[in-house]
Amino acid sequence: MVNDMPHNKKEQRKRLMHALSFFSQIAVTMAACVVIGVVMGKLLDDLFGTAPTLLLIFSFLGVGAAIKSLFDLGKSE
Protein backbone atom coordinates (compact mmCIF):
# COMPACT_ATOMS: atom_id res chain seq x y z
CA MET A 1 0.00 0.00 0.00
CA VAL A 2 2.75 2.45 0.84
CA ASN A 3 4.50 1.84 -2.48
CA ASP A 4 1.28 2.52 -4.42
CA MET A 5 1.05 6.15 -3.28
CA PRO A 6 4.02 7.61 -5.20
CA HIS A 7 3.08 5.70 -8.32
CA ASN A 8 -0.54 6.83 -8.06
CA LYS A 9 0.51 10.44 -7.51
CA LYS A 10 2.93 10.24 -10.44
CA GLU A 11 0.16 8.83 -12.64
CA GLN A 12 -2.22 11.62 -11.59
CA ARG A 13 0.41 14.24 -12.38
CA LYS A 14 1.00 12.63 -15.78
CA ARG A 15 -2.72 12.71 -16.58
CA LEU A 16 -2.97 16.33 -15.46
CA MET A 17 -0.05 17.37 -17.66
CA HIS A 18 -1.55 15.49 -20.60
CA ALA A 19 -4.90 17.25 -20.13
CA LEU A 20 -3.23 20.66 -19.81
CA SER A 21 -1.19 20.10 -22.94
CA PHE A 22 -4.31 19.03 -24.84
CA PHE A 23 -6.24 22.14 -23.75
CA SER A 24 -3.36 24.43 -24.62
CA GLN A 25 -3.09 22.75 -28.03
CA ILE A 26 -6.77 23.49 -28.62
CA ALA A 27 -6.35 27.15 -27.65
CA VAL A 28 -3.25 27.70 -29.77
CA THR A 29 -4.74 25.93 -32.79
CA MET A 30 -7.98 27.92 -32.68
CA ALA A 31 -6.20 31.24 -32.17
CA ALA A 32 -3.74 30.52 -34.98
CA CYS A 33 -6.52 29.67 -37.44
CA VAL A 34 -8.37 32.91 -36.75
CA VAL A 35 -5.22 35.06 -36.78
CA ILE A 36 -4.01 33.55 -40.06
CA GLY A 37 -7.42 34.18 -41.64
CA VAL A 38 -7.48 37.80 -40.48
CA VAL A 39 -3.90 38.50 -41.60
CA MET A 40 -4.46 36.92 -45.02
CA GLY A 41 -7.68 38.88 -45.48
CA LYS A 42 -6.03 42.15 -44.47
CA LEU A 43 -3.06 41.58 -46.79
CA LEU A 44 -5.28 40.68 -49.73
CA ASP A 45 -7.52 43.68 -49.04
CA ASP A 46 -4.47 45.95 -49.13
CA LEU A 47 -3.24 44.28 -52.32
CA PHE A 48 -6.51 44.43 -54.25
CA GLY A 49 -8.08 47.50 -52.59
CA THR A 50 -11.27 45.71 -51.54
CA ALA A 51 -11.50 47.34 -48.11
CA PRO A 52 -13.34 45.07 -45.67
CA THR A 53 -14.62 42.39 -48.04
CA LEU A 54 -11.73 39.92 -48.07
CA LEU A 55 -10.98 40.58 -44.41
CA LEU A 56 -14.49 39.47 -43.48
CA ILE A 57 -14.43 36.47 -45.82
CA PHE A 58 -11.06 35.21 -44.57
CA SER A 59 -12.02 35.92 -40.95
CA PHE A 60 -15.04 33.66 -41.30
CA LEU A 61 -12.93 31.06 -43.08
CA GLY A 62 -10.47 31.21 -40.18
CA VAL A 63 -13.26 30.67 -37.67
CA GLY A 64 -14.54 27.75 -39.76
CA ALA A 65 -11.07 26.24 -39.89
CA ALA A 66 -10.77 26.65 -36.12
CA ILE A 67 -14.05 24.82 -35.53
CA LYS A 68 -13.07 22.04 -37.94
CA SER A 69 -9.70 21.60 -36.25
CA LEU A 70 -11.47 21.48 -32.88
CA PHE A 71 -13.57 18.54 -34.10
CA ASP A 72 -10.49 16.88 -35.62
CA LEU A 73 -8.61 17.17 -32.33
CA GLY A 74 -11.61 15.69 -30.52
CA LYS A 75 -11.65 12.69 -32.85
CA SER A 76 -7.95 12.02 -32.46
CA GLU A 77 -8.04 12.05 -28.65
* Residues 37-77: tens digit of each pLDDT: 999 999 999 999 998 999 999 999 999 999 999 999 888 76
- Secondary structure class of 49 (helix, strand, coil): coil
**Tally of CA atoms within 13 A in the half-sphere of 73 that contains its CB:** 17
**Are 69 and 37 contacting, i.e. CB atoms less than 8 angstroms apart?**
no
State residue 56's pLDDT score.
97
pTM of the model: 0.81
Dist. CA 77–CA 25, nearest whole Å: 12
Nearest-10 Cα torsion for 30, 69, 63, 16: -30
Dist. CA 6–CA 59, nearest whole Å: 48
Mean pLDDT of all residues in 1-29: 85
Mean pLDDT of all residues in 1-19: 80
